[in-house]
Structure 1
C-alpha cells in the first residue's frame, strides 16, 4: 500500500505542479497580455481548421475536424471565421473581460446550429446529421416547445444579440482612422515599446500597483483621438518664446527606461507574518491591501477598534525582526484613510525613469510652467509638484542618497517646460563639479557660480530685482507674475490687432538653485541667511524661487528662520534621526533606502509622502544641454539677457570683488551699533554681528573713511564721532563739533 501511495503521489505531482505553475503564470500576466495570447491562439486554431478542410492537418487535424462535425454538423465550416472574429475583438477591445467574448462566441455558434437544426426538422429530416449534437439537441427542445417559427425567432434573436455585443466591443475609432491593419500595427508597436509598466509587478489579486489601468488609459486615448487630439510626442513649452528661432528639447533625448521591474517577494507570506506578529502582542488586525511601489511595498491593514496607534508604532523593531527586513517604516495612519501602513523594502527595486514621468498625462496636460517631476509614490503613481505653489524648496540628504540627481531632475523639468524668455536660472555649485555642464544653456542668467563672494552678489542682485519687479507690478496694477503674464498676452493681442499700446517688458521666472548651502553658511552665514529669508518671504509674487540643498542638515545650516519661511522640503536618506528632525521636524528620513528614496513635505500634505525619485544620468543631461546649444546657435542670447533680466547690471555687481560700504547689508547695522555703544573695534563687531575678522575689519575701515570713527591709535580705542540719532555723516558734520581726520 505504501508503494502504491508513493507511486500515485509521484504520478500526480508533476501534473499538479504543471497546472499550478500555469495558473500562477496566467494570474501574473497583465490582462492585456492574456488577451493577446488568446487572440494568437484563436488565429492558430482557425488556420488548423482551414488546413484540416483540405486534409492537410494530419491525424490530429482530422480528429479535430471529426469532433467538431459531431458537435456542430455543417456549422463547422463557419468555425474559422468565428475564431478570427473572436481574435479581432480580443485584439482591439479595451475594458471588457474575456469571458464576455467567449460567452458571445458560444452563443453565436449555438444560435447558428439551432437555426440550421430547426430548418432541417421542419423539412422532416434528421437534424442530428446536419446540425450536430448541439444543433440537434437545441432544435429538438425549441421545436417541441414552440414550433418551427418561434424557434427560428429565438435562435435569430440570440445571433442578433451576439452581433450587437461583439460590435460594441470592436475598436471603432481605430477602424474609422485606418482599418484593421493600422490598428494592428499600432497595437504591436505599443506591445514592444520599451516602457516600464508597474502592472507587471502584480503577483496576487489583492495587490494594487497604483499604475494607470491599461484599459482606462487606452479608452482615454481613444476619446482623445475621436476628438481629434493626439498625444504630443514631447513636452511642449507652455509659454511661446519671444524669439521664434528657439527650439525646445525633444523627449527622445531621454533614454527609455529598461530597468528591472519591482519584486516585493511573497506578499501573502509577509501579510500573514505582520498579522501574526501583531496578534502576539494582542493587536488584532486585518490586512486590507498591498501596494507595490518602485522601492517599497506598503502593507495596509486595519486595526481593531480601541487599539492605540502608539502601540503599533512601538512594535517597529519587532516587525523588522519577524519580517527579516530592514529598515521598515510604519505610517500610522495613512493620510486620508482609516488604515495603518507598513512599508517593507522590495527584494528587487525598480528604476523610475524621468522620461516615463514626462510622458505621463498629468505632466503633458498641466498648465503650470514650474511643474517638477519628482518620482513615484509607494503605490506606483507618478508625483508632480508645482514650484510656484511651494514657492521655495529645501532639499537635504547625505552623500550618495540621490540629492544631486534630484536637483538635476528639477532643472531638467524646468527647461523642458519653458523657453529662456519665460525662465532664467542661477546655479550655485561650491563643489565645482555638479552644475558646470549647464553653462551652455541659454536659460542661464549667469555662468555657474563657484565661489561664496559671487553667491552673495547674486543674492543681492535678486533682492534688487525683486524690488524692481514690485515697482513694475505696482505701476501696471497687478498682484503677481501670473497676472502680469495674462495682462501681457492681452496687450500683445491689442498691439497685433489695432497697433495701439506699448510693448510690455518681459518678466521671466527666475529659479536660483544653491547646492551645498552648508559651505556658504560657514563663510557668510549671517549675511546669506538674511537675504535668503527676505527672498523667501517676498519673492514668490514676482516669480523668483529658491531651491536650497545641503548634505549637512544641522541647525547651523538650516536655521529656524529659514525653516519658518520655507515649508516645502525634500529629505533624502540622512545619517541620524536628529538630521531628520532638523529638515522635516519629525523622524523618518534616517530609515530611507537611499538611491533616490525620499520624503516630500509641502503645504498640500499633512504628513511626509514617500517617493522614489526619478533617475536621469549624467550622459542624458549632457546630451540635452548639447542639443539645446547646437539647435539654438542663432539665438540672440545677449539681447535677451539685457532686455529681459538686467544681465549687465548683475555682471557689473559680480565683477566687484570688494563691495562698497553702503552696499554691504550690515553696514547700517554696524554704524548703528558703533554709534550706540561708542565702541569701535574689529573684535567687537565680530562678537556682536557674528562675522569673520576680515569682514569686521573692512567694515571698520569703511566707517573710518566715512568719518564715523577715528583712526587707530595703538592700544587706545578708536574715537567715535556723532551719536545714534544722526541719520548720516553729513548730518553729523553740520553739528560742527568735529573735523574729518586726515588719513
Structure 2
C-alpha cells in the first residue's frame, strides 16, 4: 500500500493508483483520498461523502482505501506543502463608511491648516504647532495623504512594524532638533516649555504663525528633559543620532550591516588617502625640480583676485544688508600734557577764590591766556565696548517676523536693510505700490507685540529716502562714551561752540553749533538724561574754549547739579542756586546785552562777530574782544513757580534779541507742560531736545509732534535743530561725575575764578527808575495797596480800571521804592509799609 509520508502509490483491482496527498493510514481499500489517478482516469471524492465520514473515501473500481482524519481539512495550499493561514475578516460596510468620513475630515482640516486659509486655517495650523511646532506643514501634509488613503481604500494602511517604529523615531528626534534650534535663536536657556507656551499664546492671540516655536510643546518637553541631563549640545547630538537610527530602522537595515558598511568605507578612505599622499609626494618632487624656473605670484595679487571673485557673489547673495555701527576711531597715542599750574600764578585759597571779583568794565577784557592749557582727553575715562554680536542673529529673526506680521495683515512690504545702532536697530521697509503709509504706521502696537519689544517707533518716511524706518530697541544697549565722542568731534577754532551730543543710529557722532541754534530747550521726564546732557555740554565748553572765548551764567534751583562748576574762570558769577535771585541774574544778562548793542552802534557793526573782526583788525582802538555768553538754566519749572512772569519776560527777550550780541540760552525742565514752556518761549526757541516723556501730550509740547513717549530713557533723545523737518534720534553721550570733577579741578588749578561784580544777582529785581513814579496814579495806587496790605497787578486793574501794562509798571515802581515786595508766583505781593507809616509819610 501507500507510504505514510509524502505522495505514495498503491494497487487496486483496476490497476495502480496515485495519491496526490499521502494518507495517514490505508486500512480499508474501499476509502480513497480526494483525488486519485488510476492510469488515465482521475477520480474525485465528493464533499458530501467527506462530510458524512470521519475519513475520506475513494473508490476505484472494486478497490477501496481508508485515508486518515488529519487530511480532511486540507486545502490546496496545504497540499502544496504549506500551513493554513487564518483568514482575516474584511471590514463591514459601517466601518468602511466611518473610515471614509474620517478620511474626508482629515483631508479638509489638514488642507486648511497646511495653506493657513483664513481664521479657521490659522487656528488649525496653530493647533498642529501646539503639538509638533514648526514641523506642522509636514504633519499636515501626511494627514492629507492618510485621509486620501481612507477615502480610496476604505481600510487602514498596512505597513510593516519597522516602518512605523522608524517614522516615530525620526519625528521625535526632529522635534527635539527644532526645539534646540529655536531656543538657541531666541537665546533661551531655561524654562523651555514656558517660553514655547508664551510664543504660542502670542500667535493664537494675533491669529498668525510668525513665531518660531521649534518642536511645539512635545519637542519642548523632550528638550527640557534632555538638556539638563546632557546639556543643549548633548541633546542635539542625541537627536541627530536618533534621526540617523530612525532612517536605518525605517529602511530595515540592521546594525551589523551598518558596521560592515562603515568598515568598508573606512578601508576605502584609507586606500584613497594612501593614493592621495603618494600623488602629493610625486607632485612635490616634480615642483622641487622646477622651483628655479617657475615664476611666483605676489600675495597682493592673490588677495585682489580673491576679492574680485568674492564681490559679485556677495552682491548676488541677498538684497538684505545689515549695517553695523561705525567702528570707533582709535585715540591718538600722544595726548596733550596734563595742564599744570603756571609758575607765575600765585596759590589761591578756596575762600579767596570764591570772593575774587573783576570790575564791571573788565567783562570783555582779555584774560592772560598765554599759560592757559585746555584739559586733555587723557583726563576722561574710556568706556568699555559692549559686545553686540548677538544682535545680528536677532536682526535676522526680526526681519522674518516683520515680513510675516505684515503678510498676516495683508500689507505687502519688503525689508531692505537693517542698521544696528547703540540702543536701537532701524529696519528700512519698502512698501509695495498702492500701500498707504498710514496703514503701516497704525500697526505699531501689533509689530511691538510680534517682536516682543518694549516699544517701537515708526519713522514714515525716512528723510531723503523712499523708505519707512521701524526702530526696534536692542537687547543690549551700548553706552556712548564722552571720551570717544570728544575725540571724533572736529576742532574748529572759529566756531568754539560746536558741541557734541552723542551718536545716531548709524554710529556717527552728532554735533551742533550753539551759535546757529541759537538757543536750546531740553525737556523730558525725571531720570531720562537731562542733567547728564547738561554736564556733557558744559564739560565740552570747558575742554574746547578758554575763558576769553566763552563766559557762563549758571542757574541751578536744585542746588546740587551745577555746584561742581563753582570756581572755574568761565563763570561770570557763582552758580545761582536761589530761585528768587534768578530774575535778577537774567536781568543782569539783559543789561549786558543792551550794553553790547550800544557798543555795536558806536562801532557801526551789526553783530558780535563783525565787532571782534574789527577789533582784531585795529588793535590800536583800545577795544577788547567780546566773549560768548552762555546762560544755562537746569530746572525751569521751579523758577516759573516762584517768579513766572519775570522769568518768562526775561527769557523771551533774550531769545528774541540776544543772538546778535553773542548770548545764547540753554533751558532744561522735567515738566514739559504748557504752563512751564509757554507759547512765547516755544516760538522764540526753535531748537529742542526731547528725552523720554510719559505721554504723547508732553512730546507734542516739546517737539510739536509725537515720538518722545516711545523713547527708551538713559540718554535716548530726539534732537530737532532749527530748520529740520523731522527730529533725529540720538543716543546721548555719558560722562561720569568723576570726569567732570577731574576737568574742573584741572582748570581751577591753573586760573583763579574771574567773577564780575556787576553780574552778581540780588533778591530784588533792579530797575533803572528810582524815587517816585511819573504816573499820575502812583500816589493813589500807593495809598490803595497800603490800605489793603496786599498788592497785585490785577487788583490795580480792577480798582483804577486801567490796562495790564500800566498796572504792571505801577507795581514795578512800588517795588523799586520798597513799598511792596518781590513777586511770589501766584500769591499777592507783601506790603512793607503799614497804614500808620503811610499816614506819617
How would you bin the TM-score normalised by the shorter chain?
Answer: 0.5 to 0.7
Alignment coverage as a number of residue pairs = 521
What residue in structure 2 maps to residue 254 of structure 1?
380
Query: Superposition pairs for residues 674-689 of structure 1, below 5 Å?
Result: 680-681=784-785, 682-685=790-793
Q: 1:503 to 1:287 in 2, by over 3 A?
A: same
Query: Superposition pairs for residues 7-18 of structure 1, below 5 Å?
Result: none
Q: 1:697 to 1:487 in 2, by over 3 A?
A: closer
1:95-138 per-position Cα deviation (integer Å, ceiling 9, x unaligned): x86825999xxxxxxxxxxxxxxxxxxxxxxxxxxxxxxxxxxx
Instruction: Say which SS state the counterpart of residue 575 (structure 1) adopts.
Output: coil
User: Does the aligned pair in 2 maintain the 1:68–1:76 contact within 8 Å?
Assistant: no
What residue in structure 2 maps to residue 725 of structure 1?
none
Instruction: Say which SS state the counterpart of residue 343 (structure 1) adopts.
Output: strand
Separation (CA, whole Å) in 2 of partners of 1:75 and 1:423 = 75
What residue in structure 2 maps to residue 465 of structure 1?
592
Task: State yes or no: 1:549 paired with 2:658.
Answer: no
Instruction: Say which SS state the counterpart of residue 718 (structure 2) adopts.
Output: strand
What residue in structure 1 maps to residue 719 of structure 2?
600
How big is the shift at 1:696?
A: 9.7
Separation (CA, whole Å) in 2 of partners of 1:275 and 1:473 = 62
What residue in structure 1 maps to residue 119 of structure 2?
none
1:451-487 per-position Cα deviation (integer Å, ceiling 9, x unaligned): 0232112101110111111111222222222222333
What residue in structure 2 maps to residue 530 of structure 1?
649
Query: Superposition pairs for residues 684-703 of structure 1, below 5 Å?
Result: 684-685=792-793, 700=814
1:288-330 per-position Cα deviation (integer Å, ceiling 9, x unaligned): 1101100000001111122221111111111111111121000
What residue in structure 1 maps to residue 444 of structure 2?
316
Task: State yes or no: 1:286 paired with 2:414.
Answer: yes
1:150-187 per-position Cα deviation (integer Å, ceiling 9, x unaligned): xxxxxxxxxxxxxxxxxxxxxxxxxxxxxxxxxxxxxx
Structure 1 vs Structure 2 CA RMSD: 4.4
Instruction: Say which SS state the counterpart of residue 364 (structure 1) adopts.
Output: coil
Normalising by structure 2, report the TM-score: 0.55
Task: State yes or no: 1:513 paired with 2:728.
Answer: no
What residue in structure 1 maps to residue 227 of structure 2?
none
What residue in structure 2 maps to residue 409 of structure 1?
536
User: Does the aligned pair in 1 maintain the 2:819–2:832 contact within 8 Å?
Assistant: no
Separation (CA, whole Å) in 2 of partners of 1:551 and 1:629 = 31
Q: 1:73 to 1:287 in 2, by over 3 A?
A: same
Task: State yes or no: 1:208 paired with 2:330.
Answer: no
What residue in structure 1 maps to residue 462 of structure 2?
334
Task: State yes or no: 1:649 paired with 2:775.
Answer: no
User: Does the aligned pair in 1 maintain the 2:581–2:764 contact within 8 Å?
Assistant: no
Whichever structure has more helix as a proportion of its residues is: 1
How big is the shift at 1:686?
A: 5.1
Instruction: Say which SS state the counterpart of residue 600 (structure 2) adopts.
Output: helix
Q: 1:663 to 1:677 in 2, by over 3 A?
A: closer
Separation (CA, whole Å) in 2 of partners of 1:68 and 1:541 = 83
What residue in structure 2 maps to residue 384 of structure 1?
511
How big is the shift at 1:379?
A: 1.9
How big is the shift at 1:368?
A: 2.1
Given the alignment, which residue of 585, 598, 601 partners 2:704? 585
User: Does the aligned pair in 2 maintain the 1:674–1:680 contact within 8 Å?
Assistant: no
Separation (CA, whole Å) in 1 of partners of 2:480 and 2:676 = 31
Separation (CA, whole Å) in 2 of partners of 1:277 and 1:102 = 37
Given the alignment, which residue of 729, 733, 736 partners 1:610? 729
Separation (CA, whole Å) in 2 of partners of 1:711 and 1:523 = 19
What residue in structure 2 maps to residue 563 of structure 1?
682
Given the alignment, which residue of 460, 465, 476 partners 1:348? 476
Instruction: Say which SS state the counterpart of residue 660 (structure 2) adopts.
Output: helix
Separation (CA, whole Å) in 2 of partners of 1:602 and 1:300 = 24
Query: Superposition pairs for residues 207-286 of structure 1, below 5 Å?
Result: 207-209=322-324, 211=326, 233=335, 243-262=369-388, 263-264=390-391, 265-286=393-414
Question: Any stretches of 5+ residues in structure 1 without a counterpart?
Answer: 22-61, 104-202, 222-229, 493-500, 642-646, 719-740
Separation (CA, whole Å) in 2 of partners of 1:236 and 1:369 = 21
What residue in structure 1 maps to residue 520 of structure 2?
393
Separation (CA, whole Å) in 2 of partners of 1:600 and 1:587 = 13
User: Does the aligned pair in 1 maintain the 2:367–2:548 contact within 8 Å?
Assistant: yes
Query: Superposition pairs for residues 663-674 of structure 1, below 5 Å?
Result: none
